[in-house]
Structure 1
């Protein structure tokens, strides 16, 4: 178990860190404008279904302003049912580091129980590794320490209020990638 002091009402807060789906190769357009490949579009839909089926429908979404992350969100959102989370598109997430991600999630309202962050590597895996308590799932922890492929999401849980999230505050419970 994570050694944290419960924040607020002691409810569990879940953070889902998602690397965008497969994008076109760099070169033809500016990196920020790279769209998803056809395979990436399919991946994004499968991620949405997996989040829905796993009970990970977000209350709030923080999404990088890059085209591939916005497309990932739009395509996965179509599979979440009637959910209408608050969505923030952030330029800060495009070139973010772990501190930037922490700064953004710490501004999240305490009533938000599931927060989805859609960004880029190596930041999504690094953030998961930084936040994960050493007693987290060993396989998941090993995966985020080496990085994650496209359309992979990490799930972290803690009773700490969002404003208190920092190093080793959460249990990394799962790293997943929907089947092809």
Structure 2
């Protein structure tokens, strides 16, 4: 049996986006199926009692729309939301640095971002006690509107690669 968990990190890939010609990638909006996916994510987070205390959201239109639609279906609101320009371009190392800046009063943290960084970050953080089947799936990438759940007993500022347990991957139903 695992030790009591003090913190949960939920890493969410944005929902399905449009691919309009000549539109800057940062400005791509959600597609209609993505809007449904995002609302379903919020309902799923609520069912799983993963209401975030704090949210770090990439500044792209599709990640902000994903968060806004998911938030409306949550059974509670986060204490704070950080729409973060750096999270849009961040690689795994920088994303981990951003997570390390989160206050220790946050017990459930949600990061809304992009592939391949969201799956690579989950795989990088997965250490002893992780679900091996989930880890193998995450290593090949995750579909839109999927989220991973990692648990750790260390403060955010001390989170290191292999420093969490990857316990779940939730993917959209359709």
Same fold at TM > 0.5: yes
RMSD: 1.6
Give the equivalent residue in structure 1 for 2:6: 12
Matched, 1:65 2:51: no
Q: Report if aligned partners of 1:48, 1:80 keep a CA contact under 8 Å in 2.
A: yes
1:23-68 CA-to-partner distances (Å, cap 9, x unmatched) read 0015331100000000000000000000000010100000000000
TM-score (norm 1): 0.92
Q: Report if aligned partners of 1:106, 1:162 keep a CA contact under 8 Å in 2.
A: yes
Shift of 1:179: 1.7
Give the equivalent residue in structure 1 for 2:143: 149
Shift of 1:95: 1.1
Matched, 1:89 2:98: no
Runs of 5+ in structure 1 lacking a partner? none
Give the equivalent residue in structure 2 for 1:39: 33
Give the equivalent residue in structure 1 for 2:124: 130
Distance in 2 of aligned mates of 1:40 and 1:118: 14
Aligned mate of 1:55, from 46, 49, 57: 49
Runs of 5+ in structure 2 lacking a partner? none
1:70-99 CA-to-partner distances (Å, cap 9, x unmatched) read 000000000112324300001101111011
Paired residues, number: 174
Distance in 1 of aligned mates of 2:136 and 2:14: 20
Moved segments of 4+, more than 6 Å: none
Shift of 1:143: 1.2
